[in-house]
Amino acid sequence: MITSISTGRAAPKKLAVHRLTPMIHVADVERSVRFYALLGIATGDCLRDHAGRAFWAGMGEREARIMFAAASGPVVPEDQAVILYLYAPDVAALRTHLLASGLHDGGRYTGCAGPNGGRSVAFEITRPDYMPAGEFRIADPDGYCLLIGQLGTA
């Protein structure tokens, strides 16, 4: 059952945040940019250090934006507890594209990391009640969880 939540003292419309872009720490900024480009997210700006190593990048346009920052230590996605939810018009075709582009086939998601140490893995499409047209889980190169849902009919 879907219900509303009281927001208390919400900011007036003229002060309200109007855009949200997640920024995640990654082991290799350029590798993450290449991976997210497979999802069709447009490349954007990149900042490099004096040695030419990318330490920050912003990608996307309109409603699909993300930023990456080079982590100063090991990336442990379970400690970050990050789940990114994305939408695509055809999850079956997108999953096929990702597998053809080198992602590992994780099969049915069972709560385990899957092949390749739980990195760059695409799991089977499911049809939960809240996303009947289909949804699938991906682990990105750093192991972060992406759920990609399809709105509309299957």
Domain ranges of the chain: 20-74, 76-154
User: Structure pTM?
Assistant: 0.82
CA 112 to chain CA centroid, Å, is 18
CATH code of the domain occupying 76-154: 3.10.180.10
Give every CB contact of residue 145 below 8 A, 6+ residues apart in sequence.
77, 82, 83, 84, 137, 138, 139
Domain 20-74 has CATH 3.30.720: yes
- Show pLDDT as tens, one digit a residue, over the chain (154 residues): 677 787 777 777 776 777 788 999 999 999 999 999 999 998 889 999 999 999 999 999 888 899 999 998 888 777 767 788 999 999 999 999 999 999 999 999 998 888 998 899 999 999 999 999 999 999 999 999 999 999 887 6
Nearest-angstrom CA–CA distance, 110 and 34:
27
